[in-house]
Structure 1
Amino acid sequence: MKKYALIFSVLSVFSLAASAQTYRVKSPDNNLKLVLNVKDSITYSVNYKNNELISPSAIGLKLDKTTIGAGAKVLSAKPSAVNKTIRPLYGKDAVLTDNYNELLISFAGNYKLLLRAYNEGVAYRFITDLKDSVKVISEQAGFNLKGSPGTTIAETDNYTAWELAYNQFKSIDEVKEDKHAITPALYSYKNGVKLVIAEADLFDYPGMYVKKKGGNIIGEWAGYPATTKMGSWGDFVSVVTSRENYIAQEPGKKEYPWRVIIATDDDKTLLNNQLVYKLSKPSVLENTAWIKPGKAAWEWWHDAILPGAPIASGMENRSTQLYNFYTDFAAKNHLEYMMIDAGWSDNYDVKKPLKRTDIRAVIQHANEKHVGIFVWCVAAPLLKDLEANMDYLKDIGAVGIKVDFFDRDDQLAIKQLQTIAEAAAKRHLMVDFHGCSKPTGLQRTYPNIVNYEAVRGQECSKWDLTTNPVHHTTFPFIRMLGGPLDYTPGSMRNKSKDTFKPIAEGLPSTQGTRCHELAMFVVFDQPLAVFCDSPTEYEKYPDIEQYLSAVPTVFDETKPLDAKLGEYIALAKKKGNDWYVGAMTNWDARDINVDFSFLPAGATYTADLYTDAADADKNAEKYEHKTITVTRSTKLNLKLAPGGGAVVHLHGK
């Protein structure tokens, strides 16, 4: 009897109506509903709290030998419900709830469509079981957004950039036809609902963009490369010179990427929505004890200039001695790593270190200080002789690599990310991808991928105005839905909106207050947190050194407290017995009230509080540091200057 009751409850979730060929899958909380209609073609729609967000939109795959979705005939539909837990190796939470309802529909023609509904969003993917390999001429992925919502998107005219600023439009009617945007892409409805289009579990297939076509939003993909050459910056980047009339070559048996739609009427929930991670393939690595997230010193952003240091510094003086200085700083401040950027080896051959640096001696010195060394390299030359290059990097004693200048996300480039991650894992090397496309879950499958860049980060403060507090309070709601980022925070030269000027060479500064910068270490997801500024700059502020030494890069629990897209963020993260609260605002001064009721009953915390000084609107480097006592009954008012922020470190017992 219990067996039949369970079957009935599962079936009732999906409301199967085979005669009408309409199938419904609902989220466990019943707020989200994915409706599939099968006639001559396959269309879907999405409802959130009984409001239609996406009206019927066609989906399918045009292959060279058949068209998936055309003349669709359902053979069977199998529902199921899942409620389990995921324990990530590291991240924002030690335990994730993996709770969803699922429907697997089998079609004539040897393909299936898998639908899932979580409380966080819905997703679908095609699964083929064809005899022969195929070419994917195109994919049909429609997103017919209801009611012309506004949008916040990062637009581009090419298929080579993901370090982009976001543009905000009051209505998609203002968006130009045929101009594409990277995903995730966010849309804002008049009733306050936010919808995000994303993808997950992307393997051996080009990345998805979105563009407006005929007034509607559709997916778009880069064509399969026909010819390439070395070019772009430094002539060491593989550049596509012509493309085929198809987007991918695939085996007949294939699980295609998830097309993901996230919906919420509470902005702050986007800060800890991990649906892309949940949808992605679990780790394939058996031994992961060597994968250790952490913090790193770094020389590139400030041009290796060390004001007041007892040694020669600057880019022209990069040497064994200079890198040892950074390593000593890392050891003193409990930073796990030193990131050595471009300039230690030949850009075209990683196996040829430059004479001014004895890389083996640097790594030996770091080992003695219990500091690991990451080294920079370029993707195309690395791939040219991958096995030998990886063997060399392992042999010199590096613990990780920063691989730069992919600048593509066609099928071949996406495959390269996996190939490098797999080769690195075999040698127990961690990976920080740069000049790469956005993460889509590969970091779950290969957790030795500790960061992706794919964000307009701190480097851009050297040459333009784009990395500003509005940007900082925008991309965490969108870009971070895909996974971690390498923003490289930690600037100690902080400027107001009126006083900031980009400095390409020399010692750059950043927009926003000192405490806005400190909040990035809590707000931003970065398992490898790379400090952008000079060791001698941090040493001027022992109390900030204390905070930066303590703040972790991965956490046991994350609690978004209050947030509004493009305006402000406040969230709390727990590690061990300690809590960290980070708050930041755009260019508007504001008060943020923090309610500490999330703390355990009966616990009293001593807390270090870093806040904007009263005159931080004029001198953005000014801050106040004091020690307070906090319990779950504490309510704290944080006064944030324009471009301001605050951090609280609660010390547990």
Structure 2
Amino acid sequence: MACSPLSNSEKFNITMESPEGHFSVNIYLKYGLLHYAVLNQSEEVVMGPSSLGIKTDRQDYTTMLRCSKQEHEQDLLENMVLISGKKTNRTAIYHQSKFTFVNSQEREMVLEVRTFQDGFAFRYFIPEHANNWSQVQEESTEFYFPQGGLSWLQPYDQASEWTPAYENIYEEYKMASPSPTQNGWCLPALFDSGNKYFLISESGPFTPYAAMHLAEGSKKELYRLAWPDAMDANGLYDAKPRIQGDITTPWRCITITEDLSTLFSSDLVNLVAPPPVSGDTDWIATGLSSWSWLTDHDSPQDFEKLKPYIDLSARMQWPYALIDANWDNMSNGSIEEVIQYAEERDVGLFLWYNSGGKHNVVTEAPRNLLHDAYARKKEFERLQKWGVKGIKVDFFQSDKKEIMALYLDILKDAMDYHLMVNFHGCTIPRGWARMYPNLITMEAVRGEEVYYFGKNFPQKAPVANCILPFTRNVVGSMDYTPTVFTTFDHPHLTTMGHELALALIFESGVQHMGDSPEMYDALPIQTRELLSELPASWEESRLLQARIGKEVIVARRSGNAWYVAGINGEDFPKTWKLNLGALQKFGAFNFSTDTPSLTGVSVQKIAIQSSNAVRVSAYGGFLGKIELPS
């Protein structure tokens, strides 16, 4: 770690290496302006120089800065245990530095930086008097890619009555392309500068602050952070956060890697998050769930229509069933009878809730319960007495500070009442699943329900499915509601084999299976057995083969069993040669893939060899398990 003397602030220049030396971060002052750049092993700039700094209505920390203090720690150890995720146990070594800068008013701003093997993260801290209120005006944080290149981005939408800004679709763009929505880009955002991948995301807020996204790229391949839209949350609250006392921003996270395998398995967003809150977590359990709403929108309000889906979960040995919106207006019985019916069949229930409040106008119910602390705790107490396992909370539609606080308040209270949480109509995962292990999954993805209303979705979905494992799903569990075969208003182009594979390709702590009992019952018995035993948490995940937007093959391990799946994002058949011997030296590979007619799935079994061939159709796929020898 190189450092120049503090006596000459214009010469402040320090380089922090990653623990294994794959890259380094250069932080320096030039004419009182703070910058950073990312260097490769040959000390060539591969990202930056980019600006740093923050400005409030009280102080400006973007100009006339000098460094007054440095603190450095090397080879710190981070042990992380997650209940759901790509890998439940992870150990990481990181380096940490804290730089204190003073502005022309002699007021302090601290920049904290951590470098990991596969990336780095930084955040700002501004000490303020406990009684002072400040409004953050801007962050000068930039992300500049001097070489240009490709990017895989999701346009940032204007939140509507029904949808948040984080439910567009990922596509490939040339670097610095204008956003189709003119609102910029969602996080995470993936860039390829030619020899390295950069995934930009955010961890937090964990204290009062707004969540952010990327403003449009400029012709200079420069991206900056942007505030939430002022009209989000039904026009309530300030887009720029007003904060009492100290200001701590979220971590700005940048995963850096030369290969897709490291990107796929990155956990940087969780590694910089606070450790779990204290408390027993034995009651938190991952698993698959039936979900009736997708194939019958009225079913959550009808006990008789819910019974087949609860029976499906019992028959498939899935631990959960999700009861969606308006269950508080139940016909042909009561919600208490639904709960009793499920309990008798050893099926745990998740119940749906509206997050509003005045911050949305959606009338689906129950609503006006979770935004108020007193009403929320009373409702959670009732759910705990009923034996409900978790809640699905929908329609947040904003990244403003007050809505970010609502997420955390719901998680905290739900933890106290032993309730798992699934957020929908929401922002992306931001490290909260480590802090609150009861956060089991989040939406923030355009999933299967879009086959109802998205005219162009079937054409874009196969490619997007091969981008999501390297973008949205990197940062946390993703409730895509996969493995649906039913034809909706806009039919699938993906085959049944592709749809089967999504249950493994996409990671989610609770995997909601969105099709009808009749469709799952019609599958071959071996395929049903595979779906019946499929886990939803993993001790290990590996990327076996991939080309972004074109194909993805994934293997995940639970205990001694490996599960393998692949999806084809292109419109022609392929034969993949899989090196399954690297996963298990003995046994056979039992898998379900496309039939020649593309109308269903066939079941095949092959002995494990050094190179196994699996053929898939156009937009096809497969799902299988390595069978251990008897």
TM-score, structure 1 normalization? 0.86
Structure 2 residue 570 is the aligned partner of structure 1 residue 595: no
Tell me the distance in 2 between the aligned counterparts of 1:585 and 1:213: 30
Q: Is the 8 A contact 1:41 1:58 kept in 2?
A: yes
Aligned to 2:22: 31
Aligned to 1:414: 404
1:488 Cα offset (Å): 0.5
What pairs up with 1:543-554 in 2 under 5 angstroms?
543-554=526-537
Tell me the distance in 1 between the aligned counterparts of 2:300 and 2:146: 58
Whichever residue aligns with residue 558 of structure 2, its letter is: K
Change (3 A) 1:171 1:338: same
Aligned match for 1:198, one of 184, 196, 201: 201
1:326 Cα offset (Å): 1.7
Change (3 A) 1:83 1:425: closer
Structure 2 residue 2 is the aligned partner of structure 1 residue 15: yes
- Once the two structures are superposed, residues 91-146 of structure 1 have per-residue CA deviations (whole angstroms, 9 ceiling, x without a partner) of 22132121112211123323311111112111111122222342212222111221
Deviates more, 1:323-332 or 1:531-540: 323-332
Structure 2 residue 623 is the aligned partner of structure 1 residue 640: no
Aligned match for 1:446, one of 430, 436, 443: 436
Specify the SS of the correspondent of 2:235.
Answer: strand
Specify the SS of the correspondent of 1:510.
Answer: coil
1:285 Cα offset (Å): 3.6
Deviates more, 1:521-530 or 1:387-396: 387-396
Change (3 A) 1:199 1:316: closer
Deviates more, 1:39-48 or 1:358-367: 39-48
- Once the two structures are superposed, residues 221-255 of structure 1 have per-residue CA deviations (whole angstroms, 9 ceiling, x without a partner) of 12678xx8xxxxxxxxx5126x64x6112243343
Structure 2 residue 209 is the aligned partner of structure 1 residue 211: no
Structure 2 residue 55 is the aligned partner of structure 1 residue 62: yes
Tell me the distance in 2 between the aligned counterparts of 1:317 and 1:532: 13
Deviates more, 1:517-526 or 1:107-116: 107-116
What pairs up with 1:182-193 in 2 under 5 angstroms?
182-189=186-193, 191-193=194-196
1:402 Cα offset (Å): 0.7
What pairs up with 1:557-568 in 2 under 5 angstroms?
557-568=540-551
Aligned match for 1:114, one of 105, 112, 115: 112
What pairs up with 1:159-558 in 2 under 5 angstroms?
159=159, 160-173=164-177, 179-189=183-193, 191-203=194-206, 204-212=208-216, 214-215=218-219, 216-222=222-228, 238-240=233-235, 244=238, 247-303=240-296, 315=298, 318-345=301-328, 353-380=329-356, 381-382=368-369, 383-384=371-372, 385-464=375-454, 465-466=456-457, 468-493=461-486, 502-503=488-489, 509-541=491-523, 542-558=525-541
1:361 Cα offset (Å): 1.2
Tell me the distance in 2 between the aligned counterparts of 1:52 and 1:590: 39
Tell me the distance in 2 between the aligned counterparts of 1:93 and 1:157: 31
Q: Is the 8 A contact 2:17 2:24 kept in 1?
A: yes
Specify the SS of the correspondent of 1:58.
Answer: strand
RMSD: 2.2
Specify the SS of the correspondent of 1:288.
Answer: coil
Q: Is the 8 A contact 1:527 1:554 kept in 2?
A: yes
Aligned match for 1:87, one of 78, 81, 89: 81
Q: Is the 8 A contact 1:42 1:69 kept in 2?
A: yes
- Once the two structures are superposed, residues 402-450 of structure 1 have per-residue CA deviations (whole angstroms, 9 ceiling, x without a partner) of 1111111111111111111111111111111000011111111111111
Whichever residue aligns with residue 240 of structure 1, its letter is: G
Q: Is the 8 A contact 1:318 1:357 kept in 2?
A: no
What is the aligned-residue identity percentage? 25
Aligned match for 1:624, one of 592, 596, 602: 602
Whichever residue aligns with residue 15 of structure 1, its letter is: A
- Once the two structures are superposed, residues 312-344 of structure 1 have per-residue CA deviations (whole angstroms, 9 ceiling, x without a partner) of xxx379522332322122112110001011131
Deviates more, 1:576-585 or 1:128-137: 128-137
Q: Is the 8 A contact 1:23 1:36 kept in 2?
A: yes
1:648 Cα offset (Å): 2.2
Whichever residue aligns with residue 256 of structure 2, its letter is: A
- Once the two structures are superposed, residues 274-317 of structure 1 have per-residue CA deviations (whole angstroms, 9 ceiling, x without a partner) of 1111111111142111111111111111116xxxxxxxxxx379
Tell me the distance in 1 between the aligned counterparts of 2:83 and 2:177: 43
Q: Is the 8 A contact 2:299 2:305 kept in 1?
A: no
Tell me the distance in 1 between the aligned counterparts of 2:217 and 2:513: 42
Tell me the distance in 1 between the aligned counterparts of 2:277 and 2:449: 33
Question: How many residues are paired up?
Answer: 590
Tell me the distance in 2 between the aligned counterparts of 1:317 and 1:83: 47
Aligned to 2:128: 130
Q: Is the 8 A contact 2:95 2:115 kept in 1?
A: yes
Tell me the distance in 2 between the aligned counterparts of 1:429 and 1:29: 40
Whichever residue aligns with residue 14 of structure 2, its letter is: Y
1:530 Cα offset (Å): 0.4
Specify the SS of the correspondent of 1:559.
Answer: strand
1:473 Cα offset (Å): 0.4
Tell me the distance in 2 between the aligned counterparts of 1:650 and 1:341: 35
Q: Is the 8 A contact 2:426 2:444 kept in 1?
A: yes
Change (3 A) 1:209 1:76: same
Specify the SS of the correspondent of 2:293.
Answer: coil
Whichever residue aligns with residue 271 of structure 1, its letter is: F
Whichever residue aligns with residue 118 of structure 2, its letter is: E
Specify the SS of the correspondent of 2:205.
Answer: coil
Tell me the distance in 2 between the aligned counterparts of 1:597 and 1:612: 23
Whichever residue aligns with residue 307 of structure 2, its letter is: N
Q: Is the 8 A contact 1:148 1:173 kept in 2?
A: no
Q: Is the 8 A contact 2:215 2:224 kept in 1?
A: yes
Q: Is the 8 A contact 1:538 1:544 kept in 2?
A: no
Tell me the distance in 2 between the aligned counterparts of 1:486 and 1:599: 27
1:462 Cα offset (Å): 1.3
TM-score, structure 2 normalization? 0.89
5+ residue gaps, structure 2: 357-367
Q: Is the 8 A contact 1:44 1:56 kept in 2?
A: yes
Tell me the distance in 1 between the aligned counterparts of 2:2 and 2:396: 46
1:397 Cα offset (Å): 2.8
Q: Is the 8 A contact 2:84 2:440 kept in 1?
A: no
Higher strand share: 1
Q: Is the 8 A contact 2:78 2:271 kept in 1?
A: no
Deviates more, 1:164-173 or 1:138-147: 164-173
Deviates more, 1:331-340 or 1:393-402: 393-402
Aligned to 2:362: none
Aligned to 1:498: none
Specify the SS of the correspondent of 1:196.
Answer: strand
